[in-house]
Structure 1
Amino acid sequence: MHNNAFAKLGLNFAYLAFEITNDTLPAAVQSIRTLDMRGSNISMPNKQKILPLLDKLDPVAKMVGAVNTVVNDNGVLTGYTTDGTGFMKALADENLDIRGEKMTIAGAGGAGTAIEIQAAYDGVKEMSIFNIHDQTWENAERNVKIINEQTDCKAQLFDLADQDAFKREIADSAIYCDSTGVGMKPLEGKSLVNDPSFFHKDMIVFDTVYAPRTTKLMEVAQEAGVEHVFNGLGMMLEQGAEAFKLWTGKEMPVDYIRDLLFDQDDQK
């Protein structure tokens, strides 16, 4: 994606992938300075571990508590998170605006946290977060606290085991987003929502999973006649475009990249 965009715009950049563990992360971050790299993307399991190794954090990255993009300005490393921005831009690409609306979202891991904080920061009025009692429950509690204290959005946390509340909150929402890994391998063919009656046709259903292109959640939503049903491909593309702009100061040719790399018939 990035290399094709660099070539299209005639930019003298190259995007390379390296396998970095928690143990090798400090040396890898120092190499950004040493080799005068313009920046880097950060994937799991390093999105939180990198925080103390950076010089600055973007305000949203600080709220999220995770970084997926680093920009190097003459040795000063600033961390950003573009996942939430990618989510909001993917909706905007479809001429959909959830500002002032209610959102229900499942999951409070890395992607979920970024989406929740960014959506609240951008103007979502109300948010119901559903999570299981695993290692991310405390993070979900933290997200609710941050949203309620630092944005104008009103957030609530629910146990995903409470299916009555899950159905009620989705029915009252303009958008339902699944930010968990349910639906992708090894949970392919599974969905947190299996009953089409959870959905109403005028809402948006957004699955952050993009492999497979059509998830079980999307099938359930389509069975319910939901008008706007999306996988995570647009979010993945737009979060990359946001990082591209941070590094280069230029807009990624998103339509060109979409046509070049992805089958148009599989966008939704």
Structure 2
Amino acid sequence: MKLDGYTRLAAVVANPIKHSISPFIHNTAFEATATNGVYVAWEIETSDLEQTIRNIRRYQMFGINLSMPYKEQVIPYLDELSDEAHLIGAVNTVVNHDGILVGYNTDGKGFFKSLPSFTITGKKMTLLGAGGAAKSILAQAILDGANQISVFVRESSMEKTKSYLGRLEEQTGFKVDLYALEDVSELQARIAESDLLVNATSVGMDGQSSPVPESIVLPETILVADIIYKPFETPFLKWARSQGNPGVNGLGMLLHQAAEAFQLWTGKEMPTEVIWQSLQEKYQ
């Protein structure tokens, strides 16, 4: 990679962020597409967020990615929001369009791109969780024309989720069905009718726990996805595969949301195949 006076900067902004694999993904893509850019990780305090956003214009950067805890906090400092960022209420990519800063959320698009030969249009989905990643998957599924969506959250999160889903319905006219995760018979009934089951909670990161009881029986044709990629195979995915169902982990979502951001910044397609090989070697 040749750095010179024309090299443009992109960065990921979060706290903590030093462990991020985004610099590896994007710098590999810059090199593979002969784009004169470099991607770094900035670990900043909340008090520095506004100044950091101003620097995107000041240094004529491509833009930035955002992770926790800044995906929502960044919104007041942006000029415009894309449809999905507006629906989700969170931004993971800022693009510098000649000094106009536009916020996007590529998480949902990245998630659906990571699913092999599956489109959500006209299909039914059961979604576990209602945090940031779940919201992006939910909003994208609605924008892509899903037929029916059931969301399951813990009893303690019901009220908060209900008000978010209410706002979502006002904006889109789409009514999401909400249930308590503790209601196992309802969970079984919804899963039995679904084409896609997604774990968008962090349950399973420990390599021990699963968000659903093992007694749940999966329909033959359902695709099962987990947004977690460390461990590479969560207990949830192991359980799905033991019933003979295909399972997809979160590594593809991470790669494809990055590819969407890369294309927004550079107008070029990220060579995901090449990068996917290296990522699998790294995390399997």
Quote the Cα distance in structure 1 between the aligned partners of 2:107 and 2:229: 14
What residue is the counterpart of 1:108 in the other structure? Answer: 130
Quote the Cα distance in structure 2 between the aligned partners of 1:147 and 1:181: 23
Pairing 1:178–2:185 present: no
Which of 215, 218, 243 is residue 224 of structure 1 equivalent to?
243
What residue is the counterpart of 1:19 in the other structure? Answer: 43
What's the offset of the Cα at 1:264? Answer: 9.9
Q: Bigger shift: 17-26 or 110-119?
A: 17-26
Large movers: runs of 4+ above 4 Å? 136-139
Is the Cα contact below 8 Å between 1:125 and 1:153 reproduced in 2? no
Quote the Cα distance in structure 2 between the aligned partners of 1:60 and 1:146: 14
Which of 38, 53, 75 is residue 77 of structure 2 equivalent to?
53
Aligned residue type for 2:42 = F
Quote the Cα distance in structure 1 between the aligned partners of 2:178 and 2:224: 19
**TM-aligned CA distance change 1:229 to 1:3, over 3 Å:** same
What residue is the counterpart of 2:169 in the other structure? Answer: 148
The percentage of aligned residue pairs carrying the same residue is 40
SS of alignment partner, residue 201 of structure 1: coil
Aligned residue type for 1:156 = D
Q: Structure 2 matches for 1:1-268, cutoff 5 A?
A: 1-91=25-115, 94-134=116-156, 137-151=158-172, 153-184=174-205, 187-195=206-214, 197-226=216-245, 228-263=246-281, 266=284
How does the TM-score come out when normalised to structure 1? Answer: 0.91
What's the offset of the Cα at 1:32? Answer: 1.3
5+ residue gaps, structure 1: none
Quote the Cα distance in structure 2 between the aligned partners of 1:114 and 1:162: 24
**TM-aligned CA distance change 1:254 to 1:142, over 3 Å:** farther
**CA RMSD of the aligned region, Å?**
1.8
How does the TM-score come out when normalised to structure 2? Answer: 0.86
SS of alignment partner, residue 27 of structure 1: helix
5+ residue gaps, structure 2: 1-24
Is the Cα contact below 8 Å between 1:72 and 1:78 reproduced in 2? yes
Quote the Cα distance in structure 1 between the aligned partners of 2:283 and 2:68: 30
